[in-house]
């Protein structure tokens, strides 16, 4: 009996490399594991002892898989079956027993069954899936020689799929001077919030609709509403950097104490996201709304922020905002600056 167990164990150990996928590099190195996915630039191989190994696609000489792989070509066609390479081509043995040959240069994606199922699920996620949400809280209090308090809150939410994107944001700053006789006693009371939906028309061009709202008690602004839409371009779209450019029109309604204004305006803007190292993400947004009714009048907004991950769910967030209007109420300033900093709590779903 013991001899039988040893024999079976020996056969399993001997055959395990034969059952694994094989990747041979151009320098002669050979790796064994399970091919999970490739985007035509890199290939991910899951190994027993080294975990996921990322391999540059041009560095690969041959691939031999025993498991079925989903091979996607530039024409959009998908072939399924075990894969072998020879003479710069991928040979896919389909379920019918036929062997299809695809030039390596025409392969845009390669996935095993698990990755293919996850990819297909990502094409049509439910509205509750795919969210990245974060909240920022900051509070300061002084007593003694000075008596003040300051509360800063910020929220961001983003849901991005291959077809569209939903972005949400909100932030507020409220501060008071509690000293006896202080005028004004409320030194800041600003709230901003909004949402934007964009849908990809092509890989480069998308359509969008947006709604932005703001109130500022010290500027005598009860509510500013900006409802707009238009077209945009994905000017840069890489794993490290994205840059979107916007062009459209909007309808703006401003309600000040004792004065209301309604007008149509253009929407010109850009949004930048940049990964700085492994743990920090920088975001920057700039929008320009020239009034179509009164030449020379406009509204401009600028936002800059960073989030540095301290753990999977905890980070440190900094956010700076500037809102500029050319025609504020009499006695009010044209600029409003907003700065918040504090801990950021985030989660994904």
Q: What is the mean pLDDT of residues 14-27?
A: 71
Q: What is the pLDDT of residue 349?
A: 63
**What pLDDT, in 10s, does the model give residues 223-260?**
999 999 999 999 998 889 999 999 999 999 999 988 89
Does residue 324 register a pLDDT over 60?
yes
- pLDDT level of residue 19 (50, 70, 90 thresholds): low
- pLDDT level of residue 135 (50, 70, 90 thresholds): confident
Whether residues 179 and 318 share a domain: the answer is: yes
Does residue 2 register a pLDDT over 70?
no
Q: What is the mean pLDDT of residues 189-214?
A: 95
Whether residues 189 and 310 share a domain: the answer is: yes
Does residue 213 register a pLDDT over 50?
yes
Q: What is the pLDDT of residue 292?
A: 93
Domain boundary among 120, 151, 169: 120
Whether residues 139 and 102 share a domain: the answer is: no
Does residue 12 register a pLDDT over 50?
no
Whether residues 181 and 269 share a domain: the answer is: yes
| Residue 18 covered by a domain | yes
Q: How many domains does the chain have?
A: 2
- pLDDT level of residue 1 (50, 70, 90 thresholds): very low
| Residue 125 covered by a domain | no
Whether residues 139 and 111 share a domain: the answer is: no
Q: What is the pLDDT of residue 338?
A: 81
Regarding predicted confidence, which is higher, 305 or 184?
305
Whether residues 81 and 144 share a domain: the answer is: no
| Residue 7 covered by a domain | no
Q: What is the CATH number of the domain that holds 111?
A: 2.30.30
| Residue 182 covered by a domain | yes
Domain boundary among 120, 145, 170: 120
| Residue 157 covered by a domain | yes
Q: What is the mean pLDDT of residues 281-306?
A: 93
Does residue 6 register a pLDDT over 60?
no
| Residue 6 covered by a domain | no
Does residue 124 register a pLDDT over 80?
no
Whether residues 192 and 63 share a domain: the answer is: no
Whether residues 270 and 237 share a domain: the answer is: yes
If you average pLDDT over every residue of the chain, what do you get?
A: 87
Q: What is the CATH number of the domain that holds 274?
A: 2.40.160.40
Q: What is the mean pLDDT of residues 70-85?
A: 89
**What pLDDT, in 10s, does the model give residues 87-111?**
778 889 888 888 888 888 888 888 9
| Residue 2 covered by a domain | no
Domain range enclosing 159: 131-348
Q: What is the pLDDT of residue 211?
A: 97
Tell me the three-class secondary structure of the chain, residue by residue.
Answer: CHHHHHHHHHHHHHHHHHHCEEEEECCCCEEEEEEEEECCCEEEEEECCCEEEEEEHHHEEEEECCCCEEEEECCCCEEEECEEEECCEEEEECCCCCEEEEEHHHEEEEECHHHHHHHHHHHCCCCCCCEEEEEEEEEEEECCCCCEEEEEEEEEEEEECCCEEEEEEEEEEEEEECCCCCCCCEEEEEEEEEEEEEEECCCCEEEEEEEEEEEEHHHCEEEEEEEEEEEEEEEEECCCEEEEEEEEEEEEEEEECCEEEEEEEEEEEEEEEEEECCCEEEEEEEEEEEECCCCCCEEEEEEEEEEEECCCCEEEEEEEEEEEECCCCCCCCCEEEEEEEEEEEEEEC
Q: What is the mean pLDDT of residues 246-275?
A: 94
Q: What is the mean pLDDT of residues 288-303?
A: 92
Does residue 192 register a pLDDT over 50?
yes
Q: What is the pLDDT of residue 225?
A: 96
Whether residues 186 and 106 share a domain: the answer is: no
Whether residues 208 and 258 share a domain: the answer is: yes
Domain boundary among 99, 120, 141: 120
| Residue 225 covered by a domain | yes
Model-level pTM greater than 0.75? no
Whether residues 99 and 135 share a domain: the answer is: no
Whether residues 170 and 114 share a domain: the answer is: no
- pLDDT level of residue 16 (50, 70, 90 thresholds): very low
């Amino acid at each position: 009996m013991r001899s039988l167990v040893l024999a079976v164990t020996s056969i399993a150990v001997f055959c395990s490399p034969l059952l694994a996928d094989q990747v041979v590099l151009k320098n002669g190195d050979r790796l064994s594991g399970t091919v999970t996915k490739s985007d035509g630039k890199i290939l991910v191989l899951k190994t027993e002892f080294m975990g996921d190994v990322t391999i540059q696609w041009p560095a690969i000489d041959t691939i031999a898989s025993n498991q079925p792989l989903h091979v996607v070509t530039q024409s959009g066609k998908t072939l399924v079956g075990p894969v072998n390479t020879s003479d710069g081509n991928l040979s896919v043995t389909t379920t019918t027993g036929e062997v299809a040959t695809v030039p390596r240069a025409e392969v845009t994606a390669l996935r095993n069954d698990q990755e293919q199922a996850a990819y297909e699920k990502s094409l049509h996620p439910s509205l509750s899936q795919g969210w990245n949400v974060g909240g920022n809280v900051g509070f300061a209090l002084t007593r003694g020689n000075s008596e003040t308090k300051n509360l800063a809150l910020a929220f961001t939410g983003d849901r991005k799929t291959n077809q569209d994107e939903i972005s949400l944001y909100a932030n507020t700053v409220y501060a008071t001077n509690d000293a006896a006789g202080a005028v004004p006693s409320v030194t800041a009371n600003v709230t901003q919030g909004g949402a934007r939906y964009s849908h990809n028309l092509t890989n480069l061009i998308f359509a969008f609709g947006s709604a932005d709202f703001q109130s500022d008690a010290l500027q005598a602004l009860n509510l500013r509403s900006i409802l707009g839409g238009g077209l945009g371009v994905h000017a840069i779209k890489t794993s490290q950097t994205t840059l979107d450019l916007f062009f459209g029109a909007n309808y703006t309604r401003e309600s000040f104490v004792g004065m209301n204004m309604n007008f149509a305006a253009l929407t010109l803007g850009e949004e930048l996201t940049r990964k700085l190292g492994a743990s920090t993400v920088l975001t920057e947004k700039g929008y320009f709304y020239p009034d179509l009714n009164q030449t020379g009048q406009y509204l401009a907004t600028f936002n800059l922020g960073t989030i540095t991950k301290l753990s999977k769910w905890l980070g440190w967030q900094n956010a700076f905002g500037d809102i500029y209007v050319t025609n504020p109420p009499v006695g009010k300033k044209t600029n409003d600056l907003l700065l918040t900093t504090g801990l950021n709590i985030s989660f994904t779903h």
